[in-house]
Amino acid sequence: MSDDTIAVPFDIYRFLPGKDQIPRYQRYTLQLVPHTPVLTGLLQIRSELDPTLGLRYSCRSAICGSCAMQINSKSRLACETQVGPEVERHGRIVVEPMRNQPVLRDLVVDQSPFWREYQKVEPHLKLDPRRPMPEGKPTPMTPAEVDRFKETPRCIACAACYSACPAAEADPGFPGPMALAKLYRFVVDPRDTAHQERLLRIQPNGLWTCLRCHLCTEACPKDVRPSERIRDLKEMAIAVQGATELGSKHAYGFKENLKGAGQINEMKLVRATFGLSGMFGQVGQGIRVWRKKPEIMKKPRKIEGMDELDKIYAALDPPPKEDTP
């Protein structure tokens, strides 16, 4: 990338609760080389143009997670996001505080909701006293056991995933991607004694609120891939408890529903999710949808290429092996 400077327009969210009525965006333009981190630009603005700008940072090396913010509508670390590509793609850099957490000042948010949800999953080992080492330390794990949660220790708790999560926005009781990824780490840890208890507790309390949008995985600067860990938790929860929650019933019903035609039979899916008696509670919603889209009442026609879908189902649900005499 060139060392020539370019004009970098920053549009920065400014808001001081209690003093400002509403947030505003303030424009500052700097001449910077394209590989300058956004954080460096913000610090230059604060030291040279406006000492009142509120922001949080520490390591400047993508390690501490303090500088997460919205940069051109994406949850990013400001210390590792370069200005050049942002200006090239968007023509300017819009900097906003993280979402789903109240703003304290400008780009600084109150992370209490994020940490509160993290605490709820009890992110610590509950050790099995049957596997002690002679000196009282827990039994070491095999490389294969460690490999099962190799991504989660990379998490730096920057909350970029929580900021990007629409489920956390819609339901403040949703644990959020980081908390669930950390939960997964303890559920697959062979030294932990509370696997089932953890899964049973999380199922009705938010696991199925996840929308599978994968925005958390896209936002994560450390490739923890929280949405994949949440998917794993869902599979494990169904294995332990069966499809007992609305979310798991819906997921299971969806899979069964596509069999045969390759298209969703909406009526059957509502029944699989809510049960026969629960369907009555959905009548109002059903009428509203039917008025807009009357074809949902019809039995879906078989799609072309259904044989390909059949092969996928056959791979997912192999027939039971016959006992050899």
Contact residues: ligand FES, CB under 6 A: 57-60, 62-67, 77, 79
159 in the Ramachandran plot: left (φ > 0), alpha (ψ -120 to 50) or beta? left
How many angstroms separate the CA atoms of 70 and 160, rounded?
A: 9
Shorter beta-carbon distance to ligand FES: residue 78 or 269? 78
- The DSSP symbol for 267 reads H
DSSP three-state, residue 302: coil
* Share in percent of the chain as helix, strand, coil (round to 5): 45, 15, 45
CB of 24 to ligand FES, least distance (A): 25
CB of 212 to ligand FES, least distance (A): 28
Q: N- to C-terminal Cα distance for the chain?
A: 70
Shorter beta-carbon distance to ligand FES: residue 59 or 283? 59
- E strand or H helix at 255: helix 246-258
- The DSSP symbol for 217 reads H
CB of 62 to ligand FES, least distance (A): 5
CB of 65 to ligand FES, least distance (A): 5
Nearest to 12, CA basis, from 43, 35, 36, 34: 43
Shorter beta-carbon distance to ligand FES: residue 65 or 253? 65
CB of 57 to ligand FES, least distance (A): 4
How many angstroms separate the CA atoms of 98 and 93, rounded?
A: 15
Shorter beta-carbon distance to ligand FES: residue 63 or 261? 63
Shorter beta-carbon distance to ligand FES: residue 62 or 261? 62
Return the structure tokens found at 131: 């596997």
CB of 56 to ligand FES, least distance (A): 8
Shorter beta-carbon distance to ligand FES: residue 197 or 218? 218
Is 199 within 8 Å of 218 (Cβ atoms)? no
